[in-house]
Structure 1
């Protein structure tokens, strides 16, 4: 029996959440080792498992993988969520690159000073409306298909749905001007593996809170400065 992938990260979303999403979309069960102390992190460093002294790390198929995008691509390729040829994979990488840039900006929100949080939300909404969501609305309109690439569900769609839901947590009506994205969200949310992941009690992490922020800063011993 194949061992379940094991995820090493904090008890929160961050850079690991997209990996949880793609595993869930593929219907793959996984385990997690949640880092709560500096000692746990230093043990991984001493073991040599963290090539660049960074997490997330995923143990899968006898490998200890780091670097989020490489992990996502490996899992997507393994489970037929990464296109059927070089052209499709390149388009997927392009769309994933765009959404991931945006997601990283959103990931900063829990670390923003309280007096700057509303301003940060305004910037998130502005980026969604003017820079990112128009791109995907146009892609869906131009090719008239259900998904972003090759008319089949791929990593690009998983990332887009995750991004949409992240922004909706900040502004519930964000899709009011994007009818095709509304339809996209509705149908992808009904894919059985995705639907299960969106249910209470799944391994999807809730919105980051103060406990998560404290855990990250304590384990990594960092001071986080807002990106804007």
Structure 2
């Protein structure tokens, strides 16, 4: 029996969340091997040589201790047939994914903003989502009239777009109001059985970052103390 992938990260979304999404979508059972709660745990991983570039997320999978988020995601997508049928499709998937991750990163940092900056940062999220990113996906889906972003075949691009749409809706529930094709896409992809299961309460999906967790995260990674 294959060993379940083991995830090493703190108990929150961060850069591990997209990895959780992709594993869950592929129907792969995984376990949170160790939630990082203290700086000492993190230093142990460093001392053990487990973190190639001295950073997490880290995933133990298929006998490897993988780091670097994009490398991990590429491996999972390639292994589970979520990365297109040829090099051209993979290139297009990469373009969509990189843009989605850019938006994801902005949204992910929203809870970290000081109170006086939150309104401006939220406005930036809405502006970029609705004028730079979502129009591209809306047009792509509308123009080719297919269910998925690339090659009428389900791929990691669809998974990561759905994740980011749901994160954007946490910031502004009606953010898709001017994007009917994306609304239909969201409903369609959300009903894929493995994704539907991941979206249910009690799954391994993480909630938005609780600001109360922030001091612990900063302490683990020694941020602000150097």
Measured against the shorter chain, the TM-score band is over 0.9
How many residues align? The count is 224
Match of 2:24 in 1: 24
Q: Distance in 2 between matches of 1:142 and 1:73?
A: 27
Cα-Cα RMSD? 1.0
Unaligned runs of 5+ in 2: none
Other structure's SS at 1:128 match: helix
Give CA deviations for 1:146-190 in whole Å, capped at 9, x if unaligned. 000111111000000000000000000000100000000000000
Q: Distance in 2 between matches of 1:144 and 1:69?
A: 29
| Cα drift, residue 210 of structure 1 | 1.9
Tell me the TM-score normalised to structure 1 length. Answer: 0.96
Match of 1:193 in 2: 194
| Cα drift, residue 52 of structure 1 | 0.9
| Cα drift, residue 223 of structure 1 | 3.1
Match of 1:137 in 2: 138
Counting only pairs closer than 5 Å after superposition, residues 1-228 of structure 1 correspond to structure 2 as 1-32=1-32, 33-223=34-224
Give CA deviations for 1:55-104 in whole Å, capped at 9, x if unaligned. 10000000000000110010011111111110111111110000001111
Q: Distance in 1 between matches of 2:184 and 2:152?
A: 14
Unaligned runs of 5+ in 1: none
Is the Cα–Cα contact under 8 Å of residues 10 and 215 in structure 1 kept in the other structure? no
Other structure's SS at 1:42 match: helix
Tell me the TM-score normalised to structure 2 length. Answer: 0.97
| Cα drift, residue 212 of structure 1 | 2.7
Is the Cα–Cα contact under 8 Å of residues 83 and 149 in structure 1 kept in the other structure? yes
| Cα drift, residue 29 of structure 1 | 0.7
Is the Cα–Cα contact under 8 Å of residues 110 and 213 in structure 1 kept in the other structure? no
Is the Cα–Cα contact under 8 Å of residues 37 and 218 in structure 1 kept in the other structure? yes
Q: Distance in 2 between matches of 1:101 and 1:223?
A: 24
Other structure's SS at 1:152 match: coil
Q: Distance in 1 between matches of 2:23 and 2:215?
A: 27
Give CA deviations for 1:98-135 in whole Å, capped at 9, x if unaligned. 00011111111121101211221111011101100001
Structure 1 residue runs of 4 or more that deviate by more than 6 Å after TM superposition = none
